């Protein structure tokens, strides 16, 4: 049995090595894919994590509060504020946005200081009235301030736009609160609010402590490599269908399967050999892509891939992912009548399974009936296990809940393959 298996493995390796297009599809294409996609997505991650958004400000106000507002916006740390020349209007901002000088811009209206002061005074007077301290200072607010217009490039992600909106509100609120506080203090004490007291009153007393839920306790900052390398490695492994599926079809069509059936050897030997050889290919794919992530990406200016601390867990998850990919490819090959069918169905089905499995869009954003469908994609369980290891610092024990469905799908594919081969009278 082992002797026959050894000769069969040699046969499969030779056929594989002579399939130049298959090797190209299995190794070179995924490498190109992972490098290109990671480079593109890296700019998005850098935008969120490192780079500051350029914010153009056209200040038409001449009062004291608009500089305070600009200073507050600057202090948020999210923006690189570029103030336009005095007198710049909405058209100037729009022109600059359309010229891609920035993605965002803010127009501070000309009566900003006057209106905010009036509203602050009105608020202060309301407060004094409620304390029973009505006096000369009581004035009514004339009306609401003209809105601060925020201009944005339409391609800007909504999430970014909403967080910018929140940041601007926070800066605005600080300016308004400070003004109200100053008026109130002045009315009560007939002297200006001391700086130290102002800082103490306006600064938040409750600290926000950022705690990462990573299992290793590290504060892992997501980057394009950590997300893309595992995802596209899985994609590449499942794309083995282009080579293996076609190989199975060729053997069927050539009549080799029929000849093997007349020989005193169980066909399971043939299936085991194919799985061993192509599992080796998937392992090689993973090794190449992970190595690129660790060593080549930093040279290219991309973030380096951090290999999970649980190396054994990573190896086991990779083996199980590869095994599932190989089982899927053999199954597609058995059901396909021609190589074109195997290649066409194989490629399209992998893209669909990748899409519903969370490789292209995170599966947590999927809702409704699609949420159920996600569970049927083997790629979903693979990516969940990898993310657990790569992004959450998990260990193999933490991914068992992902591994069990993956093994289940793999065994199902194996069973379907054997049943189909028997029904087609090929074994």
Partner 1 sequence: MESVVSAVHISNLTFRYPGNDAASFTDMNLQVNKGDRFGLFGPNGAGKTTLMNIMTGLIKADGGTVALNGVKVDGHKFRVNHMFGFVPQDFSLYQELSPKENLEFFGAWYGLDRQTIKQRTDELLTVMDLQDVRNKQVQLFSGGMKRRVNLAIGVIHNPSIIFLDEPTVGVDVQTRHAIVNYLLELNSKGTTLIYTSHQLSEAQDLCNQVAMMDQGKIVAHDSLDNLLHAHEQEDLEALFLNLTGKKFRDDV
Binding site for partner 1 (CB under 8 A): 3-4, 6-8, 10-11, 14-15, 18-19, 251, 254-256, 258-265, 269, 425
Looking at beta carbons only, is 148 or 272 nearer to partner 1?
272
Choose among 68, 171, 163, 151: nearest CA to 102: 151
Tokens read off for 50: 């490192």
Looking at beta carbons only, is 5 or 391 nearer to partner 1?
5
The least CB distance from residue 261 to partner 1, in Å, is 6
The least CB distance from residue 7 to partner 1, in Å, is 4
Looking at beta carbons only, is 169 or 261 nearer to partner 1?
261
> For 377-399, where are the alpha helices, taking DSSP H only?
378-390
Burial 382-396 (b: 16+ CB within 10 A, else e): bbbbbbbbbbbbbbb
What is the SS3 string spanning 201-214? Answer: HHCCCCCCCCCCCC
The least CB distance from residue 15 to partner 1, in Å, is 5
Looking at beta carbons only, is 11 or 75 nearer to partner 1?
11
* DSSP letters spanning 397-419: GGGHHHHHHHHHHHHHHHHHHHH
Q: Report how far residue 165's alpha carbon sits from residue 346's, in angstroms, rounded to the nearest whole number.
A: 45
Looking at beta carbons only, is 264 or 368 nearer to partner 1?
264
The least CB distance from residue 258 to partner 1, in Å, is 6
The least CB distance from residue 264 to partner 1, in Å, is 4
- Give 80's strand partners: 54
The least CB distance from residue 327 to partner 1, in Å, is 23
Q: How far is CA 113 from CA 34, 136, 145, 214, 349, in A?
A: 52, 22, 9, 46, 60
Tokens read off for 114: 């006057």
The least CB distance from residue 336 to partner 1, in Å, is 18
Looking at beta carbons only, is 8 or 327 nearer to partner 1?
8
Residues in the chain: 427
CA dihedral 45, 50, 54, 55 (to 10 degrees): 100
Looking at beta carbons only, is 117 or 247 nearer to partner 1?
247
Looking at beta carbons only, is 22 or 30 nearer to partner 1?
22
Q: Which residues contact 18 (CB under 8 A, 6 or more apart)?
A: none
Collapsed DSSP state (helix, strand, coil) of residue 177 = helix
The least CB distance from residue 24 to partner 1, in Å, is 16
Choose among 41, 61, 389, 95: nearest CA to 218: 389
């Amino acid at each position: 049995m082992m002797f026959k298996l050894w000769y069969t493995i040699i046969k499969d390796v030779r056929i594989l090595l002579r399939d130049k297009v298959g090797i190209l599809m299995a190794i070179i294409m995924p490498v190109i894919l992972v490098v290109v996609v990671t480079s593109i997505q890296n700019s998005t991650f850098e935008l969120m994590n490192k780079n500051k958004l350029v914010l153009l400000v056209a200040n038409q106000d001449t009062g004291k509060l608009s500089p305070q507002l600009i200073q507050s916006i600057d202090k948020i740390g999210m923006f690189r504020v570029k103030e336009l020349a005095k007198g710049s209007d909405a058209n100037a901002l729009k022109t600059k946005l359309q010229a891609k000088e920035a993605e965002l811009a803010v127009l501070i209206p000309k009566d900003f200081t006057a209106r905010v002061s009036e509203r602050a005074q009105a608020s202060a007077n309301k407060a004094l009235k409620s304390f029973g301290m009505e006096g000369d200072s009581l004035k009514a607010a004339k009306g609401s301030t003209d809105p601060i217009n925020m201009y944005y490039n339409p391609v800007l992600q909504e999430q970014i736009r909403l967080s910018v909106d929140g940041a601007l509100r926070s800066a605005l609120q600080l300016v308004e609160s400070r003004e109200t506080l100053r008026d109130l203090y002045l009315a009560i004490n007939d002297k200006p609010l001391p700086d130290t007291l102002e800082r103490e009153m306006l600064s938040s007393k409750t600290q926000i402590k950022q705690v990462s839920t990573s299992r290793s306790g590290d504060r892992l900052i997501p980057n394009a490599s950590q997300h893309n390398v595992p995802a596209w490695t899985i994609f590449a492994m499942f794309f083995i269908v282009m080579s293996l599926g076609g190989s199975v079809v060729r053997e069927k069509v050539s009549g080799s399967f029929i000849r093997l059936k007349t020989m005193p050897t169980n066909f399971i030997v043939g299936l085991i050999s194919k799985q061993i050889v192509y599992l080796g290919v998937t392992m090689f794919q993973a090794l190449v892509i992970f190595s690129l992530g660790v060593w080549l990406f930093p040279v290219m200016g991309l973030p380096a891939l951090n290999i999970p601390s649980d190396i054994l867990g990573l190896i086991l998850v990779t083996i199980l992912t590869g095994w599932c990919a190989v089982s899927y490819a053999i199954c597609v090959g058995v059901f396909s009548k021609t190589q074109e069918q195997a290649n066409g169905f194989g490629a399209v089905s992998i893209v669909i399974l990748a899409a519903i499995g969370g490789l292209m869009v995170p599966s947590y954003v999927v809702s409704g009936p699609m949420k159920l469908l996600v569970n049927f994609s083997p790629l979903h369980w693979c990516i969940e296990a990898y993310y657990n290891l790569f992004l959450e610092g998990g260990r193999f024990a933490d991914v068992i809940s992902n591994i069990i469905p993956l093994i289940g799908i793999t065994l199902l594919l194996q069973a379907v393959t054997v049943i189909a081969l028997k029904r087609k009278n090929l074994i």
